[in-house]
Structure 1
Amino acid sequence: MDLDLKNKRILVTGSGAGIGKATAKAFLQDGAEVIVNGLTEAEVASCVADLEPFGKVNGFAADLSKTPDAEALYDFATAEGSIDVLVNNVGIFSVKPFEDLTDDEWLSYFNINVLSAVRLARRVLPDMLSRNAGAVVNLASEAAVKPLPQMVHYSVTKTAMLGLTRGLAELTKGTGVRVNSVLPGPTWTEGVQSYFEGLAEQKSEPIDEIVSNYFKNDEPTSLIQRFIEPDEVARMIAFVASSKAANGAGYRIEGGIIRSIL
């Protein structure tokens, strides 16, 4: 399927690894030009080196929890042209009891998981609206709809991303600009793998057994009963970004965990 992404300029935040890196690769394979972003120069350089065989890719290190860094990333990404697609992917997660979460931790999660998207959308949307073209895709999660008790803080930030998405989409009414969100389910990224490796070591159990039991015990409603691969999410992101009729919606790719017909 031709997604009409050839020569489009794409910015993917938090793309040094995981879903972000897979998304950058997917856009490159569709002929787009991609700007990747990570926290450190080393992370960005490694990502660019891995992705260069697939197309034109550049990278910029920035901490998007800081407004000056977000501004610098935007300036870098638009130095040679306007951004056609912004993918707000950067985010953090952790497993922690609700009663142990401090105010500072809550603020940190909102700063990184929500305000990073606000900072870039604030710059990107006016230009897109002036050109009457462009797309923003915000990464939410199945936890936005089905909050996880062991990750209340993360879940709430992802619910906020759904509200942000619809609110921004309302600003595009009658134009060629679209704002949507994608809701992945549990995805086998480097961060998730590291978490389960630590859990396996802590419990002195084989990691394969712990992963298998995770879906039996923690996510029994999953219809696929496995982790989603980053490239599967990436293809959904590229599809949503390219669809001219998709606006103001949330697109689920969570393996059927959410028991709903919509």
Structure 2
Amino acid sequence: MIIDLTGKTAIVTGSTGGIGLAIARGLADAGASVVVCGREQARVDAALASLRDSRAGALARGVVADAGTAAGCQALIAEEPQADILVNNLGVYGAREFFAIEDADWEEIFQINVMSAVRLSRHYAQGMRERGWGRIQFISSESALNIPTEMVHYGVSKAALQALSRGLAKVLAGSGVTVNTILPGPTRTEGVIAFFAQMAAERGISREEMEVLFLKENRPSSLIRRFASPEEVASLCVYAASLQASATTGAALRVDGGIVESIA
């Protein structure tokens, strides 16, 4: 299968590293003109430099904006008013006991993980519908289905994204615009590496040992028995953004390593 996104503009939020950067690189390599979005100029510049080392990364450009806020979304829209592909990847997470999660924490995670996607999808979907073609993706998580006890607020926010995605897919039925969620499992991003390094230090073990222990204790149903790479997640996102995926919409597409205990 040859995926060709030549002539398509793709916006990927939270794309200065991790899964977002891998998605941006995959879309660029498929020929799309990719817009990298991040909060810091230095990180946006570094991501663009990385992309321009790839096969088609010369088409990439950057926007410095905090898409986790209403003002940041407006800034992004002002610089890039149209897109053919929108990947709502921006998200935050962090382990915290349920009883210690305060109202401000719930508000923050919903603003960043959910409302950023609502605001951007509300704008870009209208142009896609008018042109009769578009792809919208929400990067959810297997935690949307297996709500983790160590970060309930994160799991709830990701479950909300899946409901948003399904509802928007129905709104855009018959328009030529597809809307899907992508559900990664544990993925070895820079943030996750730092997160597990801290946990490992607290237990007096190596980070690699901590990853194995985490899967055993917290994700025992994993069938690949390892963390995925950002590129493995990105491959599914690139397919879902392709012309070939025109009949895939309203779906929750899993790249979770088999963690979710369901055949549906």
Asked if these proteins are the same fold (TM beyond 0.5), I'd say: yes
Describe the SS at the equivalent of 2:53: helix
- Equivalent-residue separation in structure 2 for 1:32 and 1:196 (angstroms): 34
Match of 2:91 in 1: 91
Match of 1:66 in 2: 69
Deviations 1:63-104, CA, capped at 9 Å, x for gaps: 1122121111122123xxx31100000000000000000000
Match of 1:255 in 2: 257
Q: Does 1:235 align with 2:235?
A: yes
Question: RMSD across aligned C-alpha pairs, in angstroms?
Answer: 0.9
- Equivalent-residue separation in structure 1 for 2:154 and 2:186 (angstroms): 13
Match of 2:185 in 1: 185
- Equivalent-residue separation in structure 1 for 2:250 and 2:4 (angstroms): 20
- Equivalent-residue separation in structure 2 for 1:260 and 1:27 (angstroms): 30
- Equivalent-residue separation in structure 2 for 1:152 and 1:141 (angstroms): 13
Structure 1 stretches lacking a partner, 5+ long: none
Moved over 4 A (4+): none
Describe the SS at the equivalent of 2:153: helix
Cα distance, 1:142 vs structure 2:
0.3
Match of 2:41 in 1: 41
Calculate the TM-score normalised by the size of structure 1: 0.97
- Equivalent-residue separation in structure 2 for 1:238 and 1:65 (angstroms): 23
Counterpart AA for 1:226: R
Deviations 1:189-215, CA, capped at 9 Å, x for gaps: 111000111111112212221111111
- Within 5 Å, give how 1:95-134 maps onto structure 2: 95-134=95-134
Counterpart AA for 2:66: D
Match of 2:8 in 1: 8
Aligned residues: 259
Deviations 1:172-197, CA, capped at 9 Å, x for gaps: 11111111110000000111000111
Query: Which of 244, 247, 253 in structure 1 is aligned with 2:246?
Result: 244
Structure 2 stretches lacking a partner, 5+ long: none
Identity between Structure 1 and Structure 2 (%): 40
- Equivalent-residue separation in structure 1 for 2:209 and 2:254 (angstroms): 27
Counterpart AA for 2:263: I
- Equivalent-residue separation in structure 2 for 1:66 and 1:240 (angstroms): 27
